[in-house]
Structure 1
């Protein structure tokens, strides 16, 4: 099913949105770097701050982008906003009461995939957008747009361990499937990393369960 708007409409919304919220994008990158720091510095307080920072990014994207701007061209935007705010609430709850949630950086495939995903969201994604002609303030930007924020969140969750991780992964994985259709239909090819990273996260979460069943 084709979206109820054109590529030009889609990018025009992003241009207007980015202009209206500037310089929030700079603050979003600062929050992203805080989350990265929490991975390499194993402190509970810093980890809580990282998940709280992600909560702010998801809430801002849900309300600021989906509800106040994207809703002008897409009737489903209000529903998308609700899911993003719900994810923000889950992230904030995990920051307040983390339980056994923690970030683990190791020399394994999961950590390597997480690192690549974070670098992609922060640095490679915007470069690809610029090369495609819709980068920078003319298109989706990290921390204030759904897809690069989702990719970054998946990257952080690849480092996360604990019972919270499954619940924090549901909405990012769901959005990756929605974003895949939009990426293909609108030609935002940098968003194709979303389903790839979502599959990686899903596999990382399923592997321990499968291993325990095989052993038992």
Structure 2
């Protein structure tokens, strides 16, 4: 790591002091996304994709580019990766309308709900319990909680769906999980399970089991 643990959590402090009350706004957007899945309408699918695109664009610019780059030169690559994810959500969800979200009550949906609940509820409580108090703690809108939320929401995708939207969150789950081992952020171990869920969704090819159509990238 090109930075110390103190510098890592110090970036969170600088970020929160500069952008408050953005974490509350971002959490509100996340809750709106959940409501749109539970009570869908004709435009709700595009709206959910738009929320995911906005979250990843915020992550790229407001966190990686502006703040994390101060202590880690790789932050510019992380910003580019996150902008790529935002672009995919925008293109596939708002331009091509290929992303449809629905609560189906199956095992995959319940796992998705667990990931969303963990990102918005359990993650901040866990952070507080282990001594990572505000403002020096990861809140929603920062990489790991956003990744958990995103993979949870993608578990609600209605087949067939393209694989591309899963790619960046799965990659980030592998990157972010390292914080559990090198920076003492134990709650980021959840990214391992979330990443495996994302890989499963990609391997299913986005189609029901009885279909044999070509893969949709």
State TM-score, norm by structure 1: 0.91
Structure 1 gap segments, 5+ residues each: none
Q: Deviations over 1:152-192 (max 9, x none)?
A: 00000000124544100001000111111222100111111
Structure 2 counterpart of 1:49? 47
Structure 2 counterpart of 1:191? 188
Indicate how the Cα distance of structure 1 residues 135 and 203 shifts in structure 2: closer, same or farther if over 3 A, else same.
farther
Structure 2 counterpart of 1:67? 65
Structure 1 counterpart of 2:201? 204
Residue 174 of structure 2 aligns to a residue whose secondary structure is helix
CA–CA separation in structure 1 for the residues paired with 2:114 and 2:96: 25
Asked if structure 1 preserves the Cα contact closer than 8 Å seen for 2:179 and 2:185, the reply is yes
Structure 1 counterpart of 2:2? 4
Q: Deviations over 1:104-151 (max 9, x none)?
A: 2112110010010110001000000011111432111112x0110010
CA–CA separation in structure 1 for the residues paired with 2:8 and 2:57: 21
Tell me how far 1:35 sits from its aligned partner.
0.8
The total of aligned residue pairs comes to: 211
The question of 1:166 aligning with 2:163 is answered yes
Indicate how the Cα distance of structure 1 residues 50 and 11 shifts in structure 2: closer, same or farther if over 3 A, else same.
same
State which of 127, 130, 143 in structure 2 corresponds to 1:129.
127
Structure 1 counterpart of 2:215? none
The equivalences for 1:133-148 within 5 A come to: 133-143=131-141, 145-148=142-145
Indicate how the Cα distance of structure 1 residues 210 and 41 shifts in structure 2: closer, same or farther if over 3 A, else same.
closer
Asked if structure 1 preserves the Cα contact closer than 8 Å seen for 2:49 and 2:99, the reply is no
Tell me how far 1:31 sits from its aligned partner.
0.6
CA–CA separation in structure 1 for the residues paired with 2:201 and 2:63: 30
CA–CA separation in structure 2 for the residues paired with 1:84 and 1:164: 20
Asked if structure 1 preserves the Cα contact closer than 8 Å seen for 2:23 and 2:140, the reply is yes
CA–CA separation in structure 2 for the residues paired with 1:211 and 1:95: 23
Tell me how far 1:213 sits from its aligned partner.
9.2
State which of 105, 108, 119 in structure 2 corresponds to 1:107.
105
Structure 2 gap segments, 5+ residues each: 213-217
Asked if structure 2 preserves the Cα contact closer than 8 Å seen for 1:103 and 1:159, the reply is yes
State TM-score, norm by structure 2: 0.90
Structure 2 counterpart of 1:175? 172
Indicate how the Cα distance of structure 1 residues 95 and 59 shifts in structure 2: closer, same or farther if over 3 A, else same.
same
Higher-helix-fraction structure: 1
Structure 1 counterpart of 2:115? 117
The equivalences for 1:81-96 within 5 A come to: 81-96=79-94
